[in-house]
Amino acid sequence: MIPILLERASKWYGQVLALSEVDLKVSGGVVGLLGPNGAGKSTMMRLITGLAEPTQGRALLFGAPAFHAPEARRRIGYCPEHEGMYEDLTGLEFVTAMSELSGMDPAQARRRAEEALAAMDLTGAMHRSLRGYSKGMRQRTKLAQAIVHDPELLILDEPLTGCDPIARAAIVERIRGLAAAGKTIVMSSHVLYEIEALTETIVVLFRGQVLAEGNVFRLRELIDEHPHRVRIRCERPRELPRELLGRDHVVRVELGEPGALTLETRAPDDLYDAIAGIAAEGMAIAELTSPDANLQAVFEYLTEERRKGKKT
């Protein structure tokens, strides 16, 4: 049975269209759901988990309409983006309560809660009040309650938001372990490298629509295909145009603030190689950045291509 199937699923909130005719099939493995804030990721997850019903189309969970299938919903674990914790409870009390709500008896619920918190490296903190937990500890506690009943399918909505690098690494490692154990996982993020650390399979959402779907390396290719700007701060910025303008891939050079310039290129890798060569010859490069090497830029590029009638 296919865990997740969306067929032309749309969701309206009053006059606001949050999701528009989305098709999605998840048969297993780890799927990364990418998109900026407001793209429709959380709405899609609410349809998948049965917390909301499609205005049009279908959202099936293990073959049944998710909104009307309590038995199917027992087979999922959900880690929402926003918190709804009872801060006077300890971590153990909170996860135990979630275990009991999933149908376990009190003794089993406590034992499974201890195991889930241990899996998230929270054994030493499980008897402390949630009020004193850091953001990373709260995220790991939410993951613990999502896995406590050993679900087949995990829906993780921005599980790394607000975490410091150490907490991010710990959570990514736990998610990898769950994937290796055979769980089907859908994880959302607005940061490409977070998804790349876990899977090569992605779905890109923007303004409620699927703009791209498939292998993460294709997304990397799209980053390199769209017009690409590179900003350079160096000691002699007026000398760089003479070095670079003769290259076919450099289409524009703009001198801005003192000590800096911006180049537009059709081949960013070639440009970076050329800049590295110039630096090796003795020109000090203080800073090299690109405002286009990010998902938002790719979303905008894909949206423009869609307006032109092109297919990705």
As a whole-number percent, the residues of the chain with pLDDT over 90 amount to: 50
Residue 290 near residue 229, CB atoms below 8 Å: yes
Q: How confident is the model at residue 88 (pLDDT cuts 50, 70, 90)?
A: very high
Whether 87 has a pLDDT exceeding 60, the answer reads yes
Q: Is residue 307 one of the residues assigned to a domain?
A: no
- CA triplet 138, 40, 212: central angle to 5 degrees? 110
Q: Is residue 302 one of the residues assigned to a domain?
A: no
Can you give the pLDDT at residue 309?
61
Q: How confident is the model at residue 115 (pLDDT cuts 50, 70, 90)?
A: very high
Can you give the pLDDT at residue 269?
73
213 and 241 housed in the same domain: no
The tally of domains found in the chain comes to 2
Record the pTM: 0.75
**pLDDT single digits (tens) 27-81:** 999 999 988 888 899 999 999 999 999 999 999 999 999 999 999 999 999 999 8
Q: How confident is the model at residue 262 (pLDDT cuts 50, 70, 90)?
A: confident
102 and 47 housed in the same domain: yes
CA dist 229 and 208 (Å) reads: 27
Q: Is residue 306 one of the residues assigned to a domain?
A: no
Number of Cβ atoms within 10 Å of the Cβ of 201? 15
Can you give the pLDDT at residue 236?
79
CA dist 253 and 122 (Å) reads: 53
Number of Cβ atoms within 10 Å of the Cβ of 270? 14
185 and 253 housed in the same domain: no
- Lowest-confidence segment of 83-87, 231-235, 279-283, 293-297 by average pLDDT: 293-297
**pLDDT single digits (tens) 202-249:** 898 988 999 888 886 776 666 666 667 788 888 777 777 677 776 777
Q: Is residue 301 one of the residues assigned to a domain?
A: no
Can you give the pLDDT at residue 104?
95
Q: How confident is the model at residue 305 (pLDDT cuts 50, 70, 90)?
A: low
206 and 250 housed in the same domain: no
CATH of the domain at 245: 3.30.70
Please give the backbone phi and psi of residue 177, each rounded to the nearest 5 degrees, phi first: -65, -40
Q: What is the mean pLDDT of the chain?
A: 86
Residue type at 18 in one-letter notation:
A
What's the domain range around 278? 227-291
Q: Is residue 297 one of the residues assigned to a domain?
A: no
Q: Among all chains, which residue has been given the structure tokens 């998710």?
A: 66
8 and 89 housed in the same domain: yes
68 and 118 housed in the same domain: yes
Can you give the pLDDT at residue 206?
85
